[in-house]
Amino acid sequence: MTVTQLIARFKSLASYDLDLVGEIRSDLEIVDYLNQAHSELARRTRSFSNKISLTLVANQGIYGLRSGAFGVPLIQVTHVVLDTKPLRQLAMESLDTQFPTWRTDAPGPPEYWTLANGTELIIYPAPLTATSNNFVSGYTLPLAFNVGNPGLEATSPPELHPHIAGLAVALAAEPMATEPQQINRLGSLRANAYQQAETVRAENESAVKGVDWQNRGRIISLQI
């Protein structure tokens, strides 16, 4: 579905709740809710797996996942490979326990990676020199909708498209809903979207079993 079609579906679904979402809501506001819904479904389905090239900066071990530095906002990292060397994953708690001074330790050959608060990739030790022949594999957010590009197609699996608008209506209207009928209907829109997302996620996880992450996927060049 295109942005235009998703906006039309939002308006159609929201017509039942004009007192909640407003009789007239700008396309810009609708697109904002559509993007929120699309991103939430992407997080749940992990539909956007990518292999992203990574240039490490000397003496820098922390990289924000959703900053402009990555070029593509990341939801989660699954593998980190420097040159041809896969780094070992540690939980944040393990990094703090095994290497309590990691924040101030001297740079050296990186051995481990972890995620901090789901928002930052930590490479430890921080690299001594800048290197570019690296990549991370993980899940990214979808391409954002924009009112200036009404023909843009949703990049998520087609079976999710109708639910993007449904979840967007729920996000817009649920905070103001007080009548049981409204609450139930909006809850159903949300539940149906999440149920479809779980189906897609199960299919995705089944499809990636046994994948060679060293060679899989397209590479998105970036420098951080």
pLDDT tens digits, 18-43:
666 665 568 899 999 999 999 889 88
DSSP 8-state secondary structure symbol assigned to residue 2: B
Separation between Cα atoms, residue 174 and residue 17, nearest integer Å: 10
**pLDDT reported for residue 69:** 61
221 belongs to a structural domain = no
36 belongs to a structural domain = yes
| One domain for residues 89 and 168 | no
Out of 140, 162, 194, a domain closes at 140
| One domain for residues 32 and 56 | no
pLDDT, one tens digit per residue, over 117-149 is 878 999 999 999 998 888 888 888 787 888 888
| One domain for residues 76 and 118 | yes
* Domain housing 114: 49-140
pLDDT, one tens digit per residue, over 70-123 is 667 788 888 999 988 999 999 999 999 999 999 999 999 999 999 998 789 999
| One domain for residues 160 and 95 | no
| One domain for residues 114 and 59 | yes
218 belongs to a structural domain = no
Separation between Cα atoms, residue 106 and residue 126, nearest integer Å: 8
101 belongs to a structural domain = yes
219 belongs to a structural domain = no
Separation between Cα atoms, residue 75 and residue 1, nearest integer Å: 23
Structural domains of the chain, count: 2
| One domain for residues 31 and 64 | no
185 belongs to a structural domain = yes
223 belongs to a structural domain = no
**pLDDT reported for residue 87:** 96
Q: What is the mean pLDDT of residues 175-179?
A: 75
pTM: predicted TM-score of the whole model, two decimal places: 0.68
Separation between Cα atoms, residue 209 and residue 223, nearest integer Å: 29
214 belongs to a structural domain = no
| One domain for residues 127 and 54 | yes
| One domain for residues 40 and 109 | no
Chain mean pLDDT for the chain: 83
Q: What is the DSSP string of 83-152?
A: TTEEPEE--HHHHHHH-TTTTTSPP-S--EEEEETTTEEEEESPPSS-EEEEEEEEEEPPPPP-TT-TTP
Contact 111, 124 (CB under 8 A): yes
Out of 105, 140, 175, a domain closes at 140
pLDDT, one tens digit per residue, over 197-216 is 999 888 877 765 555 544 44
Looking up tokens 């967007």, which residue turns up? 168
**pLDDT reported for residue 13:** 87
